[in-house]
Amino acid sequence: MPRIDRRPRRPVVLVTGASSGLGLAVLRRLYNQSVHVVATARVASLPRFAAMGIRPGPTLALLPLDVTDADQRRDVLAQVEQRFGGVDVLINNAGVAYRSVVEQVTEAERLTQMDVNFLAPMALARLVLPHMRAQRWGRIINVSSVGGMMAMPTMAVYSASKFALEGASEALWYEVRPWNVHVTLVQPGFISSESFKNTRFTAASRCATADRRDPYHEHYANMGPFIAKIMRLARATPDTVARRIVRTLDARRPPLRVPATLDAYLFAALRRLLPRGLYHRALYGALPGVRRWGPHETEATPAVAPLANPTADRPR
């Protein structure tokens, strides 16, 4: 490990998904600091910056980026390299969440979830690493979730994407330390915001939510309001989590994992302290309305997600 901190005098920080929520809070935190900020968002979301009085300048670039588009990823990195020399800090914040049980997700929906939350962050990390290794300094901050340390019903593919992000980031932490490049997973739990309203439903889970005869109806009918209530009661906000991210950016030796909310600390402690069987039984018993889940007299035929392409779920 190099013993000299080679941090650039004014690091270049790339933030994905910066037009709303946590990404916007991070942008606001970095706005007046001694850094160059490259804030990205989808083309349709770029007008939000001007509406909030955020305009590009000598230390701020606002660039269009759909993180799932390989050409756009390369184009953004080329623009940053031409203007600032390269990305010194990558904050992978852009994400999406599907609410659905496993049985009601199509292959296309699974791939969309994984593409945004796992494949895209890793692709961006690959693009920025040559510059970081060359200068012997860099930071990659991947915004994970409590859903990346524990799973909950109706959020299976979301947790799968975050578990994947956690595993790859942990491996990357080992791989790039010799070049003084540090990888950190920031793990927010429930945040007091309206972000839960942006959770997507699959075609099948939307039908199941509305159809009382669907075998999974009670799962959605109980979990949705439960999550919404907890998020409204949570004390953590996008700004408090953004503060943790910025502190991590400034740390000389940032840790691999940073729980960013009180419940993230709590669930991490429960996983460490409780025997695994007891842990799962306790959480199952605490699920809202769980005694009403499962078979009932009016149950319809199980609603398996329809396949647009009959070969879509075959192994590749």
The dihedrals phi and psi of 257, each to the nearest 5 degrees, come to -125, 135
The dihedrals phi and psi of 235, each to the nearest 5 degrees, come to -85, -25
Which residues 6+ apart lie within 8 Å of 39 measured at CB?
A: 15, 18, 19, 23, 27, 49, 54, 60, 61, 62, 63
**Encoded amino acid at 263, one letter:** D
Catalytic residue from among 98, 158, 216, 220:
158
**Encoded amino acid at 158, one letter:** Y
Q: Taking Cα atoms as reference points, which of 50, 86, 23 lies closest to residue 246?
A: 23
Q: Give, as one character, the DSSP assignment of residue 305.
A: P
H or E segment and range at residue 39: strand 36-41
The answer to whether residue 98 is catalytic is: no
What is the rounded distance in angstroms from the CA atom of residue 250 to the CA atom of residue 139?
Answer: 10
What is the rounded distance in angstroms from the CA atom of residue 159 to the CA atom of residue 29?
Answer: 28
H or E segment and range at residue 14: strand 12-15
Active site residues: 158
